[in-house]
Structures are given as C-alpha cells and as structure tokens.
Structure 1
Amino acid sequence: MNVSLYVSNNLLFDEQLKNVVNTKYQSRYDVVESYRDFNSFKEYRKLYKEEVSNIRFYMKNETLLNSWEIIPIDEMITTSKWYKKAISDKGLVRWVYMEDETNKPHKYLSLVRTINFLDLDTSGVLIINVNTDTLNLILSQESQPIMIVDDLDYIISTNQPEFKGKKLSDIVNSKSLRESKTGMFEGDVKGEPTQIFVEAISVENSLNDIRIVSFISDESIVGNANKVRDTGFLVVGVSMCFALVLIYYISKLLSNRLIILSEQIKQVGNRNFNIRIPIDGKDEIGHLSKQLEFMVNNTKNLLNEVYETNRQKTLLERKQNEIKFKMMASQINPHFLFNALESIRMKAYAKGEKEISQVVKMLGKLMRNSIEVGTGKVTLENELKIVQAYLQIQKFRYGNRLTYELKVDPSFIHVPIPPLIIQPIVENAVIHGLENSRKGGHVCVETHAVAEGLLVHIIDNGVGMNEKKQEAISMMLNEQSHHNEERIGLKNVHQRLLLTFGEKSGLTIDSKVNTGTKVTIFIPIKEGWKDA
C-alpha cells in the first residue's frame, strides 16, 4: 500500500502525464503517438509488479482515446460513487474496494485520488490497484483465519477461500465488533464462540483505514492448552530418563577419547611423527585431533623439505667445488703461468704478431675465469665472454674451417646462471661435432625468450649423431650414480642445472647424422632478473 502511495506521489508531479492528458489533439494519429511515448505507467507496473497490478487515469478531455491506461471520462463515470468521492476529497488518498473496468468482474483494493493541474485549471482521477495475489500470498502464511477488510466491511483478501466476496458481518456475529472498529472482541463464527482481533492498517495521508481481522475459536485455545500440558508432562518425563542415560554415555565417551588424545600428544612430544590420530567426530575433541594430525603431517613434511633442501644444497656445492677443484688441479702455478703468457703476448705484439698476441690474451683470460669460478652464479654476459674467448682460440687453431656467431638478446645479459654451463657444450660442439669434419663447420649460440624463461641454443652443423647414441647420452644424463670424471662434461652441466633450477631445466639434445646437433638449455627467469 505504501508503494501505491509512493507511485501516486510521483505521478502527481509527472510533467509527461500532465502534457499527455491536457493536450487537445487534432487527430487519432496524434493521440496514438503521444500514448506511445508515454511509458510511466508501464515502468511503474514493471518495477513494482509484486505490489501494483494496474494503473489508470481518468481525464475529462474529449480528444483522448481509451487505452485502458488513460481513459476519457463519460457520464457513467461521473455519476459513480468512487468518482464523486475522489472529487470531493480534493487530492487526498482514499482506499476503495472496487471493480476494475479493464479486468471485469474482478475487484481490487485501489488507491483513488484526484490530481489537480493548477496551472491549467484541470484535474483527473488516478486509480492504482494493489496486487491481490501478493496480499493473498502474505495471508496464506498464517495458520489461523485472517482477512483484510475495508472501511465498508468488505473482505478484500483472506486465507479462507469461502470468505472471499463477502462482508465481515456475514461471517462474524458480534455486537461489540459492530460498535467498534478495532480491538479484541468476542463473537460467533459458524456458531462457535470465537475470539476476534481487529487492527487498523494506517497509511500516511489517507482518509480511511484498512483493517486486518483474525480470529481463533475458544475450543482451539482450550484444546491446544490441554494438549500442550499433557505433551509437556510426557516430554519432561521422557527427557529426564533420556538425559540421565545420555549423560552417562557421553561422559564415558568423552573421557575415553580424551585419554586416547592425551596418549597421542605424548607420542608426538617424543618426536614420533608416524602415528595416526584415530579420533573422529565433529565436536571439539574431534576437531582438536584433526588439527593435531594436520600439525603432525605438516611438521613431518617440513622436516622432509628441510632435509631435501639441505641435501640438494650440499650436492650443488659439491658439484661446484668439483668444477673448481678439477680446474685448479689442472693448473700448475697459475700466477706463474699467467705472467708467462702475458710476457709471450707482449713479445709477440712487439714483433707485430698481433693474431698470436690476441690468442694468448684470450687463453689467459679463459684460464683466469676458469680458476676464479666459485659456487655462486655469474651473469649470462660473463659466461658468453668465456665462450667467445674459447671460440677465438679455436678459430686461431682451425682457421677458416671454423666460424661462429653469438645471437644474444641484450635485455637478458644480466640473467644469473651457474658458471660454466655454456662453454662445455660449445667445447663438445667443436671437438666432437667439427673436429672430425674435413670441411670444418659453424657454431652458433643464440637465445630466445619464452613465457616462463629463456632458451639458450648451441647449434653446430657438424657430423651429428644417430638415435642410438642420443638415447645413450640421455640415459647417461639422467643416471643418479656419480663417477669421478676428468673433464667437465654434459652430465655435470645437466645435473647442476637440475639442482639450481629444478626439473623444468636441464639439457635437451636434437641431432641428425651429417646434419648437426642442437643442445637447448632452459633457464627460468624470476621477476626483476631481466635488465637487472
């Protein structure tokens, strides 16, 4: 009902409604076009479909057409009671239980009020039907007979189908009810003494009230009270017996479960993490046991993770140290050797042997970098400097038989990698791929960025290898056993990559006989490494 009042207040100031109903139209086409542009009634019905079933406006304008929403006033309407009352109410709201001429013969509780267009000295009557289905749905949720009654005692809505369409006096025989509109009364309904409850439903700015009436027979009240009393005694007696038995078994169950839980906690305290907590249930003890089991499993997993991390860290350090020790062991008095190489280089440079001088310089740089390698990481740029020094030395050795190129994305040169993972593969490409080829060959080191990291390809066009040899190398790379090798080989590089970057890294080899070999390294890149 408040929604209907709200809608009527909005329409009171609706300029489009004012223009539509007050225009003097020249043709039916103009009327139809004006109606087509006017959608206020449809929008309100759509927005408040649960509260409002229909809206219509009656206006004295001979040029209007009856659209079931805007209805021109005729003589029958002007003589109707609801219209006369609406005019006499001067814009105030009245609630009327009336027939809707657009949906005969059904009656609806309707808001009726006059809308005055003061600047045009005209007026019309607005009628908004309250949705009876919604009223019936609300009342149907009540278990006792209940109904909504207007000020003329007509039953508007009820949860009793046999009461529909009647007046309250046809159902309830009560002198006191006829004398007073609201309160609690005694009367007869279908010949049975009944208590009647009447309460007014007041809507703001309304001239009349709607009442809600409910009643309950005296027999129902007394009968229910007796049933409640007898049922109460029975329930109390059964509950007492059941409670005593239940208390005994629950106390015994709780004590046994607490003893088991206490024993399990002692075993956990003694560092026994392989126990199982066999206490089920959704109560606090069951929840506590599950949390204890969860804690035990987490602790065990954490210990395993710590052990595995330490094992891999130790293995990685051992591998790195092996590299350092092997390379240092292959040197005899390295500082003396560096000084000697520098003297040879300067001597060669002084005599104009610039190529020999450059090769000696590259050899010294390669040996110094090899000796200074530690267990930490180097940048991709430093690793490629070693590779370039090695290839320049080999270029001096093989002459025109060997060519090489480095295709590296400059934005990735600062990516940290383990030392000596590219140079050993380049060395394999030169020694095993090109040394046995009379025509020589070409070595290329290139990088490609992918979604999760960086791919480094070492490609040669040497003698290659067959599938059987590739399978043998793959099996060797994945063997868990470790043999003391005299040189830094593919297996050493492969295992260090796995220890450093995980299972996603490592070496992959693709080779064909007399075509060449491509070795690929995958390096995961963390956020912030690129362009560091």
Structure 2
Amino acid sequence: MNSIQKKIWGLAIIVLLIMAITWVSLIYYNQKMLDQYNAILERYLIMNEISRKSQQTVTALNNYLLIPSIENFEVIDENKKQIQMMKHEVTLFKNVENELALTNYVNLIDSLVDTVERSVFFQTEEETEYSMTAFKEATHISNFISERTLTLIDLELRTYDLFYRGIMDQSEDLKRLGFWLLLLITFLLLLFTYWFSLRITKPVEKLTRAANELSKGRFDLKVEVDSHDEIAFLAKMFDRMRVNINNLISEIQHKAQLEKELQQSKLLLKESQLRHLQSQINPHFLFNTLNTLSKKAYMEGSEETSDLLVSVAGLLRYNLKHLDKPMTLFDEVNVLKQYIDIQKSRYTDRLHFVTEIDESCLSIAIPGLTLQPLVENAVIYAVEPQEEGGTIWFRIKDNGAKVTIEVEDNGPGMTEEKIQEILEGKEDTTSGHATGIGLSNVVKRLRLFNGSEEVMKIESKLGSGTKVMIHLLKDRGLEEHDKNTNRG
C-alpha cells in the first residue's frame, strides 16, 4: 500500500531529479564551451611563449658568446629544451586552414635550435667569426619566428572567428533553453502537484461529506474512497463504524419496540388482574349494607358489633378505592389492623398477633392490598385449623436500600414443592380468602411493581411454621408512588 508519506517523498524525489538533470545539463554545456575557449586560448599562449622563448634563447646565446661560462651555457640549454617541448605542442594545433603555415613555423623553430647549437659549437672551437655569423642568423630566425607567431595568431583569429560567434550563439541559445526549460519544469511541477494534491484532497473531501451525512443521521450511505493509502484505510474503518452504528441503532429500535410491547402487555395484564380482583366482590351493595347494619347496631346499643361493622366497611372501602394504585406502608398497616380486629372478633384468644414495626419505613410505597393477603394466608393455615389457635408475627425492617416485611406463623408449614408453586405463580388457590387474592397473585403484583423477580422469599418446613419475606426497593417504590399520585 502506497502511503501519503511515500507520495510526498516521491514528489520531492521527482523535483530533485528534475533540478539535478537541469543543473547537470547546464554545467555540461557550460563546461564544453569553456573547454573549447580554453583550448583556443592555450594555442595563443603557447605560440606567444615560443616567440618569447626564442628571444630569450638569442639573448642567452649573446651572453654566452660574451662570457662563455657554464652558467650561461646551462641557460641556453634550458631554453632549447623548453622550445622543443612547446614545438611538440604546436604540432597538435594543425588543421586544414593552418597546416602549411604551421609546418613552416615548426621548421623555423628547428632552424633556430640548430643555429644556436652551431654558434655554441664554433664558440667552443674558438672560431669566433663563424660563431658570430651563426648568432646573427639565430637573431634573424628569432625575429622571423616572432613575425610568424603574429601571423599564425591572426590566422587563428580569422579561423576561429566563426567559432567565437558560434559560442556566443550557443550562449544565447542556452539562455533561451534555460528560460523555456524553467517554464516547462514549472508547468510540469504545477500539473503534478495539482494531480498529487487531488489524490490526497479528494478522498479527504469524500470522507468529510460522509461524516457530514452521518452527523445528519444518514447511516445508509456507504463510505467509498478509491485510493490506496492511509485515507482509504480510514474510510474503510469509518464505513465499518457506520455499519456497526446502524446495526446498533436498529437493535436499539427493535429492543425499544419489544420493551414498549412488553410494557403494554404488563399494563394490560395488571389492569385485567385488578379488574378480575374487583369483579370478585359486589362492592357497592356490600358497602352500603354494612353501613346500614353498623348504624342499626349502634342504635340498638351493640357498640362492639357496630365497631366490627365499621372495620369491615373500612376494609371494603380500602379495597374498592385503592386496589388499582400503590399505597404507603402506613395505609396498608392501618388496613391490616382493621382486618386483625375483625379476625380477633372471630377467633378471640386463639389468634395472637405480634407486631414489630420500624416507623421510619411507613412512607415507602407498596401495591395496594398486599399485606392483608399475607396475614390472611397465615390465619387460614396456621390459626383456623388449630384448636388452640396460633401466633402470627408481623415485622417491618429497614435494610438500607430495601425494606423487608416479614409475616411468620407457627403453623404446620408447607413443602418445598408448594413453595416453588407459589413463587412460580402456579398456585392460584384463593378459596377461603376474603379478597380472593392468594400468595401467587401477590408475588406477580410485586414483580410488576418492583420490576424485579426477587421480591419474595418463603422459609418453611413441615411442622415448623412458615416465614414469608417480601423486599421493597426504597427508590423504586417512591418513584412509582409519586408517578401514580401525580396521575391521580
């Protein structure tokens, strides 16, 4: 995969290569012209040096003829060697234009060297006249070499005049080439930079548009980027995130729909249960009849009977008005006391009811008609069958975040299978209950109210009594109670 960093490095390398090629080309052409110019200048310098050395040789010969010392001889010999070396360099300058003139020029150099050697030889043999004659001839040859040097330089100038003009024309062409090459390189670089920037910015723009669409909640648009770098990988991960979010939203919507349907089912179930409970009593007829009987008993002087009828009427009134909404523990306890008063009038000393109530918990909300069925169940199974009666303990305890309500009796107890039937809602025997509400019904209503399965615990063994414990969440109960109060 080509990364953005590799693309940037590629752009930098291409720019450097173009600059390097341009620089090398310019250096090459400049060096070529400079070499040509140096070669021509070298020709002029060598020929001029030959002319100067020829004169120095004649001067050295004159000094030797005047003072024939070893030092003067060595000077002559050194000049000859230098002239010989420069003669070989001059022979390399031959071309079609100067071949004849250059050949004569080389012969003059040889003649000068021979004449100088002959003059030195005659001087050594003490033939002064011949030596002077050779000296004069060497002087003429040296002057002739100087003239020929000027002639050759002039010929060279005429020969290389076109070359000089060519160099100037090449220089101008090179300037124009450099200018157009610079424009071409600039244009290519701009074009490549534009293409390169599009390769980076277009995927970013697509990714930006996709993010904008996602911010508007459109999770159905696929994110596609046709590059092969980190942006493509980012777009791929972005699209995967879009798919995951879309799936999550669909799942949440599905769960919300299921939750809504479940809540509606629970409400319908609760409503049907409450209406079923209320339909099991002929409420208004019984309530009016009890009120009439209470007044009649009071007028006849039966105050105890009147109080009993008042308790029954109060219990009935509570059942009629508050079965369909949560109540506080305070209200439930008051109704429970009325129920116990009624049962005590029936069982007298056979019913022992012991309470242990934490007053700070009485403001907690609880479904209406919950405590009475619990105690009533204990009366039916622990007190009524026993000749000597029985004892029921009723407790309300504060357990931090929960309130625990206990109803314990010393009756015959029940089997584990019976306990499981009650907790699983399979037991629905309501015979003998004044309200027609059994423990299973209480368990169901508490679970609907608390929103939890763990609402009741039953501890019992055959022959050792039964303890029923229910747990109420303080926060849940208060919240539910406030909602229903506002609705009422």
Task: Between the two structures, name the one with larger relative contact order (CA 8 Å, sep ≥ 6).
Answer: 2
Structure with higher strand content:
1
Q: TM-score, normalised by structure 1?
A: 0.45
**Structure 2 length-normalised TM:** 0.49
Name the structure with the higher helix share: 2
